[in-house]
């Protein structure tokens, strides 16, 4: 349940920043977007990563090139399947939580 807890904290944080939550755990074969939000006129696709301890690296270090490629593919699929077009303003980001899921440091890393 740890991943779900991190995603819940991330959703609360983004909503408090004024974002509208459009979708959670949007899945396609081989890929997933944890959160899809709208910030003004821009869609934001967010990967949530959590690491309780730094023993195996930080939450940001857990994001691989393969994960980013799958995330991009899932975002394009969301745009075309759910919204019927792929030319809308959007961006990708990773939201990291290092430490305790509820009190740990939270950072947003923009990707595009």
Residue of 21, 47, 48, 36 lying closest to 90 (CA atoms): 36
Per-residue model confidence (pLDDT) at position 56: 77
Return d(Cα 60, Cα 48) in angstroms, integer: 10
Return d(Cα 33, Cα 23) in angstroms, integer: 9
Domains annotated for the chain, with CATH where assigned, are 2-110 (3.40.1350.10)
Per-residue model confidence (pLDDT) at position 3: 78
Residues facing residue 91 across a β-bridge: 44
Average confidence (pLDDT) per 10 residues, the chain, 112 residues? 85 97 93 95 96 84 91 94 92 95 94 77
pTM of the model: 0.92
């Amino acid at each position: 349940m740890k991943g779900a807890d991190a995603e819940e904290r991330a959703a609360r944080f983004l909503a408090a920043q004024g974002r509208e939550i459009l979708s959670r755990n949007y899945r396609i074969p081989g890929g997933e977007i944890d959160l899809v939000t709208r910030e003004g006129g821009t869609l934001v696709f967010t990967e949530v990563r959590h690491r309780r301890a730094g023993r195996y690296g930080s939450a940001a270090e857990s994001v691989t090139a393969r994960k980013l490629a799958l995330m991009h593919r899932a975002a394009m699929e969301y745009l075309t399947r759910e919204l019927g077009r792929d030319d809308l303003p959007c961006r990708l980001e990773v939201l990291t939580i290092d430490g305790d899921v509820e009190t740990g440091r939270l950072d947003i890393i923009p990707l595009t």
